[in-house]
Structure 1
Amino acid sequence: MTDSARAYFDSFLGMAGEPGRRAREFAGKVREDLRSGSEQMREHGTRTASDLGRLIRSEVDAGLTRLGVATHADLDDLNLRLEHSEEQIRDLRIRLAEAEARANAAEKSPGRPAPAETPSSASAATMEPIDDEEEDA
């Protein structure tokens, strides 16, 4: 009896084994499809959110421009221009200090002829000094 029960059991498992394996494979494929689909949806959502952000930013900038208010890009441009102007002022102050030092050296040694001034040092020497709050502190 046990041999016949075992034979029935083995034949039953044999018949159910193939469909069970196929069901497991199908479930694995469905799981992978769901994973990749969810990743694609997340990426699409991220792209959509950034696109919406850019669209809103451009609409706000256009509205501010119509009102005559400076936009973020305008402020960035002004900051770059300001930094460039500050750098030029620093360079001109250095050139002015060098020209004044040469002029003082020429006054101290009257026997020697004054050094020939270059156009850049001549223009720097004629500039008025710029008051700077940082130098006073």
Structure 2
Amino acid sequence: MVDPIWAGVIGGATGSITTAIVSLFSPRVLWSMEERKLNVLNEAARESAKLEHRRALVKEWRDGLQAARDELIAHQDQQLESSSPELTGRAWFESLRTHLAFDQREMWDIINNLDNSDTVAKLSVAIADIEQRWGLV
């Protein structure tokens, strides 16, 4: 049989060691769980900001297309001799251009034929496609 004193010493030492190990590792486990929660929240915030930025881009493109079309109609109504307004160089169109999947000839037609209603429709459909691909609708 084991001496009762030794049994107490061994039991006390085992309990102390177990308590020390748990007290050392529990903050690490809690910190790890908090870090995961914060990562999930940060990712959700980034995704929300990305969607908001994309919505703003789509609105800017639509407003810009409408303004360019209105400007062209006003230009035609006044029968001005100067060349009709162009899309190139406009901030909204340049930001849209990088997302368009048109070949070089189609892009040239779009830039130079804004007075054609097919061109406006083609750009409008392209914007709607981008909006759908981004999951905004």
Q: Give your verdict on TM over 0.5.
A: no
* TM-score, length basis structure 1: 0.42
* TM-score, length basis structure 2: 0.42
Which protein is bigger by CA-based radius of gyration? 1
* RCO higher in structure (CA 8 A, sep ≥6): 2
Higher helix share: 1
